Amino acid sequence: MDQTIVAMCLAGVTMLFVGALAARRDVARARGLDRIVALGNLCYAIPLAVFGALHLFGTRFVIDLVPEFMPWHLFWAYFVGVALIAASVSIAINVAVRWSGLFVGILMYLFVAMIHLPGALAEPHDRIIWTIVLREMSFGGAGWILAGSAVNGWPGKPGKMLVLAGRVFVTMALLLFGFEHFLHPMGLPGVPLEKEIPSWVPLREVVDYITGAALLVCAGSVILKWKTRTVAACVGGWIVLMVIVMYGPVLVLALVAPETGTQLEGVNYFADTLLFGGTVIALAKGSPAPGGARTGVTM
């Protein structure tokens, strides 16, 4: 197995243990759906560590993504890797999340502005590129929600503005992805890209229809300000469940394949969808609880 794939897997497993230890007290104290909310930081942090390892150990896969007008391409590949690892640790252990969430959001929007959006404008009819644009924007929005809603986060108006902006970007992705699940009901659920649901999964179209409907309901709950915390926690939990029961086997099958490209694709799909699940759970965390508090846990 290529060292890049090994590094990405080790980074993810390491962050799983670190984040699980940090979240165990909050999960134990939480009740009901707040237990899902208590795992939001963990679901968001693990993929950041995976992609950070990709930048540090697989620069050949990412260096060509650095815009041509920027100097020192290798430096920026390593810089982003270190930044993602640092943010992952910060969010997983819930320390200085006001800064790590803020800067992760900025980083994602820089990716959109300098890499993904120009490609989408050049290919306006390519749904995959636009899906990636909205995906990255939702990831950045989740970072801002975490920054604005964290304990010792940004106080007053700055924190509220971060949460509001993050909710807008996440909701845009929920709407687009929800409709895409109905238009392309054979794609893997969550972020609707090119890879299809494996043939061994029963009722493949039904799974996509359920996921699409859930995403649209979640977007509607934000727009209508109706039980957003409850709905987002359920939908985020569903996405994470899909990662475990569907993307998990897909990842294992990819890792046993001899081609490095296939292995990398499997890891990327798994981490991307887990990050989207963490994004939806972050939306729940940034929404008021039924009693009026923004969060029912100490995250």
pLDDT digits (tens, 9 = 90+) for 150-174: 877 788 889 899 999 999 999 999 9
* pLDDT of 265 above 80: yes
The identity of residue 21, as a single letter, is: L
* pLDDT of 62 above 50: yes
Query: pLDDT at position 292, please?
Result: 52
Cα–Cα separations (whole angstroms), residue 175 to 21, 94, 190: 34, 29, 12
Query: pLDDT at position 290, please?
Result: 66
Domain boundaries along the sequence of the chain: 3-285
Average pLDDT of the residues in 59-88? 92
Which residues, in sequence order, are CB contacts of 239 under 8 Å at separation 6+?
Answer: 189, 190, 211, 273, 276, 277, 280
Q: Where residue 296 falls among pLDDT bands split at 50, 70, 90?
A: very low
* pLDDT of 73 above 70: yes
pLDDT > 90 in the chain, percent:
82
Which residues, in sequence order, are CB contacts of 52 under 8 Å at separation 6+?
Answer: 11, 80, 81, 82, 83, 84, 85, 88
Query: pLDDT at position 153, please?
Result: 75
C-alpha atoms less than 13 angstroms from C-alpha of 258 in its C-beta half-sphere: 0
Beta bridge partners of 196: 187
> How is residue 224 written in tokens?
């209508």
* pLDDT of 272 above 80: yes
> How is residue 68 written in tokens?
């041509």
pLDDT digits (tens, 9 = 90+) for 195-242: 999 999 999 999 999 999 999 999 999 999 999 999 999 999 999 999
Query: pLDDT at position 295, please?
Result: 47
Helices (H), the chain: 3-29, 34-38, 40-57, 59-62, 73-93, 97-111, 117-122, 127-149, 156-183, 204-224, 228-242, 248-255, 260-285
